[in-house]
């Protein structure tokens, strides 16, 4: 219904947060820079063995995490909502989960739920909170790495020739544990219960942001879609399954549609400030504040929303370049924004 989407249509500007244990690597594996894809893809791009990735995750300890400062940074920039990666493709949950121990509470040195205090800070400051959940790709929970196209160009792994041969013989998997269960088992034992958890344990959830529907079946999509009734006012994007289960909004990625391309659908452009979603230590290719403001104006004038991303560091701090840009946008908004 229309009312459900009203706030979203007026929002115009939101903060995307890609955060997880991939930030520990910062886009570098054994001295090799991961050139292609965002740094949140390092496990896949460098074909890091499950055991090694998990061993590193144990020491994840974001002692400087201050969710209220994140919320205020967004709010002062004129943003109305936040979408955070509750679980990205690496399968690491930023929340306490009964369905998989690969979560921040049970697996890491930090040991505390990261979504709870963020949800509280959002409520306190009147910012809507949504969750990104990678339903179709999960490289750590068995069964979540369904047959993939092989990505063989330029792997930043010293053993890439060996690994190449392995994945070619194993349908794109790079670790035997990844296919020790079926995709259906993964959906039933991890994805469905985890989506139920994030829709039950954090109060109002404004958005469920699905992603990369590779290998999704109608059956799996239906099971996940049915859970949305736990949050009657929730808004979803169009990435649960393609071509059906279209959701409420289209999600052009890193690009702003031309007026000719607009077809009356709701849309939200998601974009990085440099070239990566997750924290990439060596990516200094930051867009200027001027460009970001120009994009916001362009998008707002065409009736879309701008979901601008930050990739916090493993210690819980936000890269200085991102903070600076969000503050400068806020200064511009204070003079030129409507509300």
Pattern of binders to ligand JFZ over 152-191, x per CB under 6 A?
----------------------------------------
- In this structure, what token pair is assigned to residue 249? 């909004």
Touching ligand JFZ, residues 221-260 (CB under 6 A): 253
Between 107 and 132, whose beta carbon lies closer to ligand JFZ?
132
Touching ligand JFZ, residues 35-94 (CB under 6 A): 38, 40-41
What string of DSSP letters covers 206-226?
-EEEE---TT--HHHHHHHHH
Between 19 and 277, whose beta carbon lies closer to ligand JFZ?
277
Query: Closest separation between CB of residue 143 and ligand JFZ, Å?
Result: 19
Phi, psi (deg, nearest 5) at residue 310: -125, 150
Query: Closest separation between CB of residue 278 and ligand JFZ, Å?
Result: 7
Q: Which residues contact 73 (CB under 8 A, 6 or more apart)?
A: 15, 318, 323, 326, 327
Query: Closest separation between CB of residue 250 and ligand JFZ, Å?
Result: 10
Query: Closest separation between CB of residue 238 and ligand JFZ, Å?
Result: 10
Between 8 and 139, whose beta carbon lies closer to ligand JFZ?
139
- Whether the CB-CB separation of 133 and 20 falls below 8 Å is answered with no
**Segment contacting ligand JFZ by CB under 6 A, of 33-41, 52-60, 74-82, 141-149:** 33-41
- In this structure, what token pair is assigned to residue 174? 């790079």
Cis peptide before 325 (omega within 30 of 0): no
Rounded to whole angstroms, how far apart are CA atoms 23 and 43? 11
**Residue located via tokens 């890439």:** 160
Q: Which of 212, 222, 285, 336 binds ligand JFZ (CB under 6 A)?
A: 212
Asked if 261 interacts with ligand JFZ (CB under 6 A), we say: no
Asked if 277 interacts with ligand JFZ (CB under 6 A), we say: yes
Between 212 and 288, whose beta carbon lies closer to ligand JFZ?
212
Residue nearest to ligand JFZ (CB): 253
Query: Closest separation between CB of residue 37 and ligand JFZ, Å?
Result: 7
- Whether the CB-CB separation of 105 and 111 falls below 8 Å is answered with yes
Asked if 211 interacts with ligand JFZ (CB under 6 A), we say: yes
Between 38 and 330, whose beta carbon lies closer to ligand JFZ?
38
Can you give the C-alpha Rg of the chain in angstroms? 19
Distances from the Cα of 257 to the Cαs of 16, 272, 298, in angstroms? Answer: 19, 16, 10
Query: Closest separation between CB of residue 339 and ligand JFZ, Å?
Result: 27
Report which secondary-structure segment, H or E, holds 188: none
- In this structure, what token pair is assigned to residue 285? 């290719």
- In this structure, what token pair is assigned to residue 39? 């740094």
Which residues bind to ligand JFZ, rule: CB under 6 A? 38, 40-41, 211-212, 253, 270, 277
């Amino acid at each position: 219904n229309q009312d459900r989407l009203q706030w979203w249509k007026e929002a115009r500007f939101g903060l995307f947060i890609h955060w997880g244990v991939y930030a520990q690597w910062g886009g570098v594996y054994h001295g090799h820079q991961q050139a292609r894809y965002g740094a949140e893809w390092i496990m896949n791009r460098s074909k890091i063995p499950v055991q090694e990735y998990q061993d590193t995750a144990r020491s994840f300890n974001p002692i400087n995490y201050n969710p209220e400062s994140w919320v205020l940074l967004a709010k002062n920039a004129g943003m109305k909502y936040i979408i955070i990666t509750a679980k990205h493709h690496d399968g690491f949950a930023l929340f306490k989960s009964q369905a998989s121990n690969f979560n921040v509470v049970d697996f890491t040195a930090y040991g505390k739920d990261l979504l709870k205090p963020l949800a509280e800070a959002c409520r306190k400051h009147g910012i809507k909170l949504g969750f990104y959940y990678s339903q179709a790709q999960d490289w750590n929970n068995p069964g979540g790495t369904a047959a993939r196209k092989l990505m063989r160009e330029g792997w930043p792994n010293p053993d890439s020739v060996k690994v190449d041969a392995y994945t070619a013989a194993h349908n794109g998997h790079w670790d035997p544990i990844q296919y020790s269960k079926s995709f259906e088992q993964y959906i039933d034992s991890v994805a469905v219960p985890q989506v139920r958890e994030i829709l039950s344990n954090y109060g109002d959830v404004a958005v469920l942001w699905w992603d990369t529907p590779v290998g999704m079946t109608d059956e799996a999509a239906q099971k996940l879609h049915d859970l949305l009734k736990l949050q009657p006012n929730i808004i979803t994007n169009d990435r649960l399954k393609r071509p059906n289960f279209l959701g409420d909004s289209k999600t052009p990625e890193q690009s702003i549609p031309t007026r000719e391309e607009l077809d009356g659908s709701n849309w939200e452009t998601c974009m990085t400030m440099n070239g990566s979603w997750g924290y990439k230590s060596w990516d200094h290719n930051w867009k200027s504040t001027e460009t970001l403001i120009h994009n916001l104006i362009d998008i707002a004038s065409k009736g879309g929303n701008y979901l601008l991303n930050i990739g916090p560091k493993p210690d819980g701090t936000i890269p200085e370049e991102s903070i600076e840009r969000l503050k400068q946008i806020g200064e511009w908004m204070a003079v030129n924004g409507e509300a």
